[in-house]
Structure 1
Amino acid sequence: MKTAIVRHILVKDKDLAEQLKQKIKSGSDFAQIAKAHSTCNSAQRGGELGEVKKGQLVPVIDRLVFSGAERVLHGPIKSQFGFHLLEIKFRMEF
């Protein structure tokens, strides 16, 4: 079984997602940005989704989580919920 430790930020606007990505890349704290801007329930945990299993997330995000580079800020990625910024902390396979 594949699992990953992931954190993310969800916003409705692509331009805002791009702005937040640049702030994080410039050294702003991911968790603080998530708490201030993310519309996901994970915002109160600094964007931490915790451990997720393959197939647990919406398909476009799930594919990225289990194939994208680890420890890289990905996005914005569009889903039916809005635009995501995503960091895959690491993946495991049991």
Structure 2
Amino acid sequence: MSTAIVRHILVKDLTLAQQLKQKLADGADFAKLAKQHSTCNSAKRGGELGEVKKGQLVTVIDRLVFSAPEKTIQGPVKSKFGYHLVEVKFRMSHF
């Protein structure tokens, strides 16, 4: 079973997602942006989703979480909830 420690920012607007990704690239604080802009309940935790198991998230995000490089901001990725910026902090495999 694979798990990952993940954080994300969820917004309704693609343009805002792109602007936030640029701010992150320029060194903005992820947690601060998540608290200010994310529409997910995780916003109050700075976007932290904590440890997630494969299959626990919406399919498009789940695939990303278990394939994208660690410690890199991915997105914007569209789901039925809006646009996500996702960072996989690290992944673990449990045997």
Superposition TM-score, scaled by structure 1 size: 0.99
Aligned-residue CA RMSD (Å): 0.3
Instruction: Extract unaligned runs of 5+ from structure 1.
Output: none
Which residue does 1:2 correspond to in 2? Answer: 2
Deviation string 1:40-72 (CA, Å, 9 cap, x unpaired) is 000000000000000000000000000111110
The percentage of aligned residue pairs carrying the same residue is 72
How far apart are residue 28 of structure 1 and its match? 0.7
Q: What is the aligned length? A: 94
Post-superposition, which runs of at least 4 consecutive aligned residues in structure 1 deviate over 3 A? Answer: none
Superposition TM-score, scaled by structure 2 size: 0.98
Instruction: Extract unaligned runs of 5+ from structure 2.
Output: none
SS at 1:28's partner residue? coil
